[in-house]
Amino acid sequence: MSESAKLLDGKALAKRVLAELGGRVQACTAAGRTPCLAVVLVGDDPASKIYVRSKERKAASVGIETRDHRMPATTSTEALLERIAELNADESVHGILVQLPLPAGVDERRVLEAVDPRKDVDGFHPDNLGLLMLGVPRFVACTPQGCMRLIAASGIELSGKRALVIGRSNIVGKPVAQLLLQQNATVTIAHSRTADLEAEVRGADVVVAAVGRPELVRGEWIKPGAVVIDVGINRVDAGGDKPKLVGDVAFEAAAARAGWITPVPGGVGPMTIACLLANVVEAAEAASS
């Protein structure tokens, strides 16, 4: 391969994070408080089912208990709020994850606001997003946290760098922009109405792509030596019997120019799960103090 970039290996880092969590889980369990995550999955979205299964498997691998709450796609907002109230009141549950997206008829805002902020291991509650904005985070959303841990583990200095976040979602784009700002990067958020995405990418020392559009960012746009964090996981038809996973960045061409780059798969994805489980352990530790 012609690429010159070093890989930001999320699989390897996630393994290290999980190994460290294992010890903390054991300590909690020895104190009679096994960390426990309630996973609420509403409806039959196939991608969500895969994500949830993979979160539960990884949780089990470090001794974290998970409790599955599957609800039909016809579930009303009220019924879901009731279930969340029960989980909030259950002292043996330390973390609550409501898998997104929710079915169209459910009021996502009300549901996310109903989760006890101290059990909000996804970091989606307005209290937790507000604390992040103020620079005193409690639970930081898992994908943004995973991006930052990948950068930190590689010793990349962000202070004074020009960082471009592509995508302005509440669960990735906005929080990761805040985290980059807290590391003293000069942050731009690009989105679907940005006039000249190519020019923004060409000027960026760090690019975080989180839009869910296969290979939207062309490799030739990447500034030589830049850090490329690709949050996208897009399934595309590659002519075979299985869809191919590609990121939001054209990997081969970008890797030929970048200094550091995350692969897809094996970059941000495994870190998202590791950070979720880190939040669960933190919630369990906080509950016991």
CB of 51 to ligand GUN, least distance (A): 7
Residue 108: what residue type? E
Q: Are 41 and 70 in contact (CB under 8 A)?
A: yes
| DSSP β-bridge partners for residue 68 | 39
Q: Give the residue, chosen from 99, 128, 145, 183, that forms a contact with ligand GUN under the rule CB under 6 A.
A: 99
Is there binding between residue 246 and ligand GUN (CB under 6 A)?
no
Sorted by sequence, the CB contacts under 8 Å of residue 76 that are 6+ apart come out as 105, 106
CA dihedral (42, 47, 51, 54) positive or negative? positive
- Of 19-27, 76-84, 92-100, 105-113, the window that binds ligand GUN (rule: CB under 6 A) is 92-100
**134: alpha, beta or left, given left = phi > 0 and alpha = psi -120 to 50?**
alpha
Residues 148-177 that bind ligand GUN (CB under 6 A): 171
User: Which of residues 122, 200, 205, 282 is near ligand GUN by CB under 6 A?
Assistant: 122
Q: How many residues are listed for the chain in this entry?
A: 289
The CA-atom distances, in angstroms, between 179 and each of 8, 34, 173, 174 are 18, 30, 10, 9
96, 121, 142, 204: which one binds ligand GUN (CB under 6 A)? 142
Single out the segment in contact with ligand GUN by CB under 6 A; choices: 93-101, 179-187, 199-207, 236-244: 93-101
Note whether 253 binds ligand GUN by CB under 6 A.
Answer: no
Give 156 or 245: the residue with its C-beta nearer to ligand GUN: 245
C-beta separation of 249 from 198 below 8 A: no
Residue number, 122 or 282, with CB nearest to ligand GUN: 122
Our CB check for ligand GUN shows the closer of 35 and 175 to be: 175
Distance CA 202, CA 194 (A): 14
* Residue 1 CA from chain centroid, whole number: 29
Q: Which of 97, 216, 254, 280 binds ligand GUN (CB under 6 A)?
A: 97
Minimum CB separation of residue 182 from ligand GUN in Å reads 20
- Active-site residue (options: 9, 58, 119, 122): 122
Give the residue numbers marked as catalytic: 55, 99, 122
Residues that bind ligand GUN (CB under 6 A): 97-100, 122, 142-143, 171
